[in-house]
Structure 1
């Protein structure tokens, strides 16, 4: 911990605090992330999104993960890491495509080097290691930062990914956002390890634990892990201890499995309040700049709201268009049956193989 919950620097903070401009950039990102979470939640209630897993309370982890990466690095998110994808530069409307029920990945992963959001726990981790290993074989300086939650550390894919990464010394950073619950299962019912950071020991991977609500500490620890991976020191494991303030998703009732006083204790550790208090006390942040951050966040919310409220007319041909580069005879036959059912003129439709590779 570099900053206490009230924003005062700790003894360690005096030596390791990132520059003021980096912290301001992080605060701006967190303000935008919080507003994005609130807007997405409102869109669920309005019936414009099917579901939304909020990262309210985890904004420091989300923003730091994007901020420590270079342009050529890769970010592998989970379903809850929409704010991290937005912080990385992905269009917020495209980020929410999966949760609207439109496209599995509504954005081009290569444009910002952000892999598709993954709903199954930990399945993206072996893929992240593969990308990192391939980059190393090509002699690139690419680092992959793979996000997951505490629940994912109980999955086989997590352990396979760590083993694979260690054996091949892949330049990948595993960042576990330990928000204390795997839906309704508390951490104590998932593991008896001293910490999730200890899980790297058995694979020969160094592990480090950090306060996940302290953006300054996160930037310090994650940037160090990325630098070591880039320097050829192999995979790194970082556990950020944080908390999911809101329910798992809009379909969840968190009051059934966690007490109000527990939530209140974590609300008092709010990462935005903590960093803003420090920056104001140091004279780095003033009202004008804070207002500018809020205005920028509102623009993100407006862009999200306007984009999601735009109805997309589904094209049945998309069921066939993106299966193979060259459609099989069976696909062509099935497409013809759909056109016959819909009364479409075959001559006016594009062949599936002539469609763009990405919408």
Structure 2
């Protein structure tokens, strides 16, 4: 190894990494560099697969050009990579494609008309047939890699013997998701193969703009995983390399495979007019390396493929594509109600209301399946235990994990340390591998959630602090919240995202109230307990809910006085607020830690105090009913005022009870500033005095 040393200091440079050459079986002219390991008939099948993929691609580009479908991502030139990967999969293996993998998905068994439906603007087109172990692709670049890592973790925990292959483009290797997904796989020794389809360009940017490393494959060294570089225009080499990678992955050694190929078309058909293709000389050079012609020449040179057989293969591909286009054109239009139908396991009250607004009486089909939560179900009568919120969450996790072996708890420091607030203390000793620490990488914590849920588990992902959720928001917003809708209910993302929130004289990034981000995200349910009883019951409901639930724990209440709660399991319904104090003159609405501020500030008044408990879906009915009685409304929350949850509560009351109001609605919140550090924090957070002043103001009318 060439090194530079100064008094024991060793510097390792890229020059220390040996040059890699892509593995090849067939030369560019089709002559064998080594004899293919696959039978001739199988090789002819690979050839036919590539021809079909090419013919579909050409037809899809044409359909897009005449606006019969929308924007489409061509894969021309990458057929050998895509076919080789899929044909290497065993029945127990999963495939997680990228958006350009049309050829791979067709080879996997995805109906061509389904892909045309998707690119034509119909979300049903991405509904993967039940018999395929394949996830639908998503448009956000590279974000599927942590999903695949989570799915691979599910295979490992379930001891299925299966592995997972996920694909990404060379541009996607610049994303943090690529790093966090590979790092997670390396740390846990997951049965995961990350296949990089290095087609030399990310839209218009060449590979040299994505990484300074000589190859993408050598990045494997940094993650402690195996690395393979293969000629992605050689279908035999791609197949053999993927088979080897899968073998290593099943043995507990994740693999990064770089398939060196070339995109011989536009990034998408949106660029048919606006974007110039790659340099003509470069295009010509890669055209001579065409993956279909390469294997065709080899087969013909061996006498294994005649001109008549070739023509028959092309005729069959043309026939299949033509019939798929006809089925696409004759497909039944999507039901407009579907835009509401798959957001949640049952349509929430606000969605039913909006559906009636959009479609009138046709929305009655949704209303019949409306949210209908059960009443609170208490534990064994008379048997209680004294707990605070910290203890209540821990007790519920223990009880629910004993009840349901699918529940997993994971995150930073949750296992050996029991969490920075000791909420998960002793769970590792009791449940073993079902409780595990993760790297300090919030994107992967959220992304792995997707794969674990697809794999049949109920993940409980802990983020150490409120601010730590924001790096993961892309995964939460674009995937966890949308996966049920994207898969038309096949994968509902059942699980819980837990984190402590709010100011408690802590540091920046540790003292925020980001609930509005999550409550504003369709597909999520958001709950915030204000006491140990609700913490225990709401968490039990969240763990039994068919939808992903964000469970926010007010950290200033972790050590609040204990209260008696039923020792046995019980649930508190999600979507149901609670009147904690009745009154006649003013309604005070709050949640979480601020509920106690609201209760203190409203003493001495005939105030009806409502604990929202659930922020999404919001229990508008309870709020409106109270305001119709009192005629006044004060809303208290810790988050900044501008566009905070109080604005939505006020809007709902203005919409449904405007003529019951006797005074303007008042909001008592933090100010529209960054929460100050400890010495000035109390000047920002709502206080009982500010609540009292707001009540007096509204009573003055």
In structure 2, do the counterparts of structure 1 residues 346 and 81 end up closer, same or farther at CA, with 3 Å as the change threshold?
closer
Give the distance between the partners of 1:260 and 1:306, measured in 2 at CA.
Answer: 35
Given candidates 228, 231, 244, the residue that maps to 1:211 is: 231
Structure 1 gaps, min length 5: none
Matches within 5 A, 1:132-151: 132-151=152-171
Matches within 5 A, 1:122-161: 122-161=142-181
Give the corresponding residue for 2:28: 5
In structure 2, do the counterparts of structure 1 residues 353 and 325 end up closer, same or farther at CA, with 3 Å as the change threshold?
farther
Contact kept in structure 2, 1:109 and 1:116, CA below 8 Å: no
Give the corresponding residue for 1:242: 261
Give the distance between the partners of 1:329 and 1:169, measured in 2 at CA.
Answer: 44
Q: Which has the higher contact order (CA 8 A, sep 6+)?
A: 1
Give 1:226 shift.
1.0
Give the corresponding residue for 2:215: 195
Give the corresponding residue for 2:290: 270
Give the distance between the partners of 1:51 and 1:259, measured in 2 at CA.
Answer: 23
Structure 2 counterpart SS, 1:3: coil
Matches within 5 A, 1:1-359: 1-10=24-33, 13-14=34-35, 16-103=36-123, 106-108=126-128, 110-230=130-250, 232-252=251-271, 256=276, 258-310=278-330, 312-340=332-360, 344=361, 351=368, 357=489
Aligned residues: 351
Task: Report Cα offsets for 1:267-319 as digits up to 9, x if no partner.
Answer: 00001111010011111212343233213211321132112323643433112
Which structure has the highest strand share of the two?
A: 2
Contact kept in structure 2, 1:321 and 1:352, CA below 8 Å: no
In structure 2, do the counterparts of structure 1 residues 255 and 5 end up closer, same or farther at CA, with 3 Å as the change threshold?
farther
Contact kept in structure 1, 2:341 and 2:366, CA below 8 Å: no
- Pairwise CA RMSD: 2.2
Contact kept in structure 2, 1:93 and 1:304, CA below 8 Å: yes
In structure 2, do the counterparts of structure 1 residues 302 and 351 end up closer, same or farther at CA, with 3 Å as the change threshold?
farther
Structure 2 counterpart SS, 1:210: strand
Give 1:113 shift.
1.2
Give the corresponding residue for 2:462: none
Contact kept in structure 1, 2:88 and 2:240, CA below 8 Å: no
Give the distance between the partners of 1:78 and 1:109, measured in 2 at CA.
Answer: 17
Contact kept in structure 2, 1:181 and 1:187, CA below 8 Å: yes
Give the distance between the partners of 1:168 and 1:104, measured in 2 at CA.
Answer: 35
Give the distance between the partners of 2:363 and 2:99, measured in 1 at CA.
Answer: 38
Contact kept in structure 2, 1:109 and 1:115, CA below 8 Å: no
Give the distance between the partners of 1:308 and 1:50, measured in 2 at CA.
Answer: 13
Contact kept in structure 2, 1:43 and 1:305, CA below 8 Å: no
In structure 2, do the counterparts of structure 1 residues 353 and 305 end up closer, same or farther at CA, with 3 Å as the change threshold?
farther
Which structure has the highest helix share of the two?
A: 1
Larger radius of gyration: 2
Structure 2 counterpart SS, 1:101: coil
Contact kept in structure 2, 1:321 and 1:353, CA below 8 Å: no
Give 1:250 shift.
1.2
Give 1:325 shift.
1.3
Give 1:349 shift.
6.7
Structure 1 counterpart SS, 2:271: coil
Range with bigger deviation, 286-295 or 195-204 = 286-295
